[in-house]
């Protein structure tokens, strides 16, 4: 990890006077010109054929009474546009390695069905397929990220899909696309070469998968723009560092652009607990696994640096987020859960980590977009609500494609039952002369005071937004969709280049210079 970021998770600076007053934390921000750009693709999303993610979530069908465009909910299109989502990953997840793309093209009434064996055993009718997804990405202004089938597919099937979406004319697949109503290619850049090959993708060894990847990647080409495909290898599950070691060692650089990493936040893997009815012990455990992301990135990056000191291969965290038990009365295979201030803490702290590690982390995908896991939106019939996670990601749009400003500080501790976590996380950036600073205080009970020296950045005025609530368990409901929403924040002072901020317990604050 870059030394300038060492203070984010290593501090012991919390000092209490009479048990009530907490010492002020000092944050240094460097105005450097040679820092990486925080890629907007760090703020990507993920929509799998899982539960009510696609059907009854994104897609309600052209004949639905719910206002829609080509079957996709208009309210959701509007919300995702406002979120400025940079990329969207589809169709899985585990579903990807059972998906055969040709089943999802052509007249909808002629498409075959299949049983979604991974998620609830429901029948998939393939009414939402390649055209629907890629046309949706165009409406959203988002880059499509297609996860292709290695587990049960073939090289020919994979390369036909690339030809179908990327070749303009003169090939069998381009002709088929035109027959299905799409004249111009979509020019899809981002491709996942399988998903979770260590698990639902085939329970493979890394050595076996590395060889299989080499085979598939060899035949990947976009024909007309030969070098514009971005190939992402199915990467490690959390701390499986051997998996990353093998992929970096055995896959030639000319065949790979990115290596994936998956990590979820939970109380315990076998006892995930309720999304809304949780205590501080469960909250602390969840945040512990969320903040573990820093160590995971550090150690996987160390391995990548050994084989790729030129930093040519990117780390892609294409599944992350909170994972709890499903809401009572819902299908266990649908992974439908509510979204509280705990999830806002996961989102804010994790995105700060990604921002600060943007030299190697170039893309990430929150799991998932709607009605599944840590969703940014939930739907119920004609109604839709935006979650605390949505609001955090919208507040953080100020960092999209901005230049990273390195931060250095020692965080006070958030202590529970003899264990401690860093209470504060910070990331900062600049773009077009404006400075943005995002701060998170995960402490469940205590406010934290922060002092930031901005003299080197020539900042005179700032505005701020905060997301917080009365209880960690608070969440938006269809009866009260605005219980948690961003508000103007005024508990800060900027005088002579010094910014002083008071962060309430479990809050996210974003400041931007005027």
319 part of the active site: yes
> Is residue 196 among the annotated active site residues?
yes
Catalytic residue among 48, 124, 196, 357: 196
Beta 143-148 vs 123-124: how paired, if at all? Answer: unpaired
> Tokens representing 408?
């250095």
On the 0-12 / 13-18 / 19+ scale of CB atoms within 10 A, 323 is buried
Helices vs. strands in the chain: H and E counts, helices first: 9, 30
- Pairing between β-strand 413-416 and β-strand 419-422 as defined by DSSP bridges: antiparallel
**CA 363 to CA 347: how far, in whole Å?**
15
Extract the tokens encoding 180.
């299905």
- Point out the catalytic residue in the list 282, 319, 410, 512: 319
Q: What token pair was written down for 7?
A: 């203070």
Within 13-86, strands assigned E span 16-17, 21-22, 24-29, 37-38, 44-46, 68-69, 72-73
Q: Which residue has the tokens 């099937």?
A: 157
Q: Which three-class secondary structure state does DSSP give residue 296?
A: helix
114: β partners = 124
> Considering only CA atoms, which of 1, 109, 115, 89 is closest in space to residue 358?
1
Sequence-distant (6+) residues with CB within 8 A of 174 are: 163, 164, 167, 168, 185
Q: Which of 138, 124, 63 is nearest to 91 (CA)?
A: 124
Instruction: Collect all residues with Cβ–Cβ distance below 8 Å to 230 and sequence separation of at least 6.
Output: 189, 190, 191, 257, 258
Is there a contact between 6 and 294 (Cβ–Cβ < 8 Å)? no
Distance CA 25, CA 11 (A): 10
**Considering only CA atoms, which of 1, 47, 42, 95 is closest in space to residue 317?**
42
- Residues 490-498: contacts with CB under 8 Å, at least 24 apart: 490/464, 492/462, 492/464, 494/454, 494/459, 494/460, 494/461, 494/462, 496/455, 497/453, 497/454, 497/455, 497/459, 498/451, 498/452, 498/453, 498/454, 498/455
The two three-digit tokens of residue 72, written as one number? 């996709």
In which order are the strands placed within the sheet that holds 487-488?
A: 37-38, 402-405, 424-431, 434-441, 507-513, 462-467, 487-488
Give strand ranges (E) for 34-100: 37-38, 44-46, 68-69, 72-73, 87-90
Q: How far apart are the C-alpha atoms of 458 and 110, rounded to whole Å?
A: 63
* SS3 at position 435: strand
427, 364, 429: which is closest to 401 by C-alpha? 429
The residues annotated as belonging to the active site are 196, 319
């Amino acid at each position: 990890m870059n030394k300038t970021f060492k203070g984010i998770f290593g501090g012991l600076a919390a000092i209490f006077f009479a048990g009530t007053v907490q010492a002020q934390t000092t944050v240094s921000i460097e105005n450097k010109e040679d820092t990486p750009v925080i890629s907007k693709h760090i703020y990507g999303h993920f929509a799998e054929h899982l539960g009510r993610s696609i059907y009854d979530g994104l897609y309600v069908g052209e004949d639905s009474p719910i206002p829609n465009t080509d079957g996709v909910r208009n309210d959701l299109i509007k919300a995702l546009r406002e979120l400025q989502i940079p990329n969207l990953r589809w169709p899985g997840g585990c579903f990807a390695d059972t998906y055969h793309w040709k089943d999802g093209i052509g007249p909808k009434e002629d498409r075959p069905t299949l049983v979604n064996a991974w998620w609830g055993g429901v029948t998939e009718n393939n009414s939402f397929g390649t055209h629907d997804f890629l046309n949706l990405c165009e409406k959203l202004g988002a880059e499509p990220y297609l996860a292709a089938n290695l587990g049960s597919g073939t090289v020919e099937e994979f390369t036909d899909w690339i030809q179908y979406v990327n070749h303009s004319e003169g090939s069998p697949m381009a002709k088929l696309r035109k027959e299905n109503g799409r004249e111009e290619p979509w020019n899809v850049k981002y491709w996942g070469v399988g998903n979770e090959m260590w698990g639902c993708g085939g329970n493979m060894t890394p050595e076996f998968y590395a060889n299989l990847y080499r085979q598939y990647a060899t035949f990947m080409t976009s024909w007309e723009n030969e070098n514009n495909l971005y190939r992402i290898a199915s990467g490690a599950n959390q701390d499986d560092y051997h998996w990353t070691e093998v992929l970096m060692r055995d896959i030639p650089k000319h065949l790979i652009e990115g290596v994936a990493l998956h990590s979820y936040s939970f109380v315990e893997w076998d006892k995930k607990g309720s999304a809304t009815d949780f205590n501080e012990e469960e909250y602390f455990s969840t945040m512990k696994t969320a903040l573990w992301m820093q160590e995971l990135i550090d150690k996987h990056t160390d391995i990548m640096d050994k084989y790729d000191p030129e930093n040519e291969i990117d780390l892609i965290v294409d599944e992350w987020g909170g994972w709890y038990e499903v809401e009572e009365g819902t299908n266990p295979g649908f992974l439908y859960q509510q979204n509280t201030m705990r999830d806002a803490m996961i989102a804010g702290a994790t995105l700060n980590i990604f921002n600060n590690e943007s030299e190697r982390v170039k893309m990430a995908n929150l799991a998932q977009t709607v009605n599944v896991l840590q969703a940014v939106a939930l739907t119920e019939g004609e109604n839709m609500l935006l979650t605390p996670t949505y609001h955090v990601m919208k507040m953080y749009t100020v960092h999209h494609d901005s230049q990273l400003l390195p931060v250095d500080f020692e965080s006070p501790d958030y202590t529970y039952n003899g264990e401690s976590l860093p209470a504060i996380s910070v990331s900062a950036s600049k773009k077009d002369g404006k400075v943005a600073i995002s701060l998170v205080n995960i402490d469940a009970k205590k406010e934290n005071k922060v002092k930031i020296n901005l003299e080197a950045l020539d900042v005179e005025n700032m505005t701020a937004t905060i997301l917080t609530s009365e209880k960690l368990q608070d969440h938006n409901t269809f009866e009260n969709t605005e219980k948690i929403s961003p508000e103007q924040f005024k508990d800060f002072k900027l005088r002579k280049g010094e910014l002083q901020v008071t962060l309430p317990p479990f809050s996210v604050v974003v400041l931007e210079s005027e």
